[in-house]
Amino acid sequence: MQDDAAAESMDVRGETAAPAGGLSDILEPCLSVIFCGLNPALTAHRDGHNFSNRSNRFWRVLHLAGFTPRLLRAEEEREMLQYGLGLTSAVSRPTKSASELKKSDYIAAAPMLEDKIRRLAPRNLAFLGKAAYAAIGSRTEIEWGRQPDDFAGTSIWVLPNPSGLNRAFDLAKLTEHYREMKLAIDRATIPAG
């Protein structure tokens, strides 16, 4: 992914094709959830797959929280679409650590993210970490979980970042937060009666 929107091309399903030397979004219209990472890690950019670093817990947490019936590997990232899940980044510039990003990076990337979400119309957008949502929404106080407002017409969730560098959350605590979202989505899709 690159910050220059002109460098990206969309196919007929709305999926972003990977620019030369970057990662591709895993997207199509009307998904249940689009998970929005802060930005790609240098290792993911190098490997060509999202969340490819072995220390990143994204794939394990998705499975343990019930979003996927089996543990996916980074190389199987496109299978997310089968489960109504997608993946993008708030900022497409890779860094060693998301702490290298500034508030201005998120603000500059916000219009492209908003356009993407509005066009693809997922039911939920889950920011993985507070930084992007705080910058884009000009917020200083954010609780984990579902947010009271929306983004581009989509319900917003803020979940802890699954990076191995995020030592504030062990695997069990991460899973608990992701499972809360999964259960809320399941309750919302069960027909009344």
The residue that leads in pLDDT, 12 or 170, is: 170
* Cα-based torsion angle of the residue sequence 14, 17, 22, 25 in order, rounded to the nearest 10 degrees: 30
The stretch 182-190 carries a mean pLDDT of 90
Judge whether 136 and 30 are in contact, CB under 8 Å. no
* Residue ranges in the chain assigned as alpha helix (H): 42-47, 58-64, 103-120, 131-136, 171-189
**pLDDT tens digit sequence for 144-182:** 999 999 999 999 999 999 988 888 899 999 999 999 999
87 three-class SS: strand
State residue 118 phi and psi, 5-degree precision: -60, -40
131 three-class SS: helix
For residue 192, is pLDDT > 80? no
Q: Would you kindly state where each structural domain of the chain is located, as residue ranges?
A: 5-14+27-189
Judge whether 3 and 91 are in contact, CB under 8 Å. yes
For residue 9, is pLDDT > 50? no
Q: In CATH, what is the architecture of 5-14+27-189?
A: 3-Layer(aba) Sandwich (3.40)
**pLDDT tens digit sequence for 98-132:** 888 999 999 999 999 999 999 999 999 999 999 99
**pLDDT tens digit sequence for 15-34:** 444 443 467 899 999 999 99
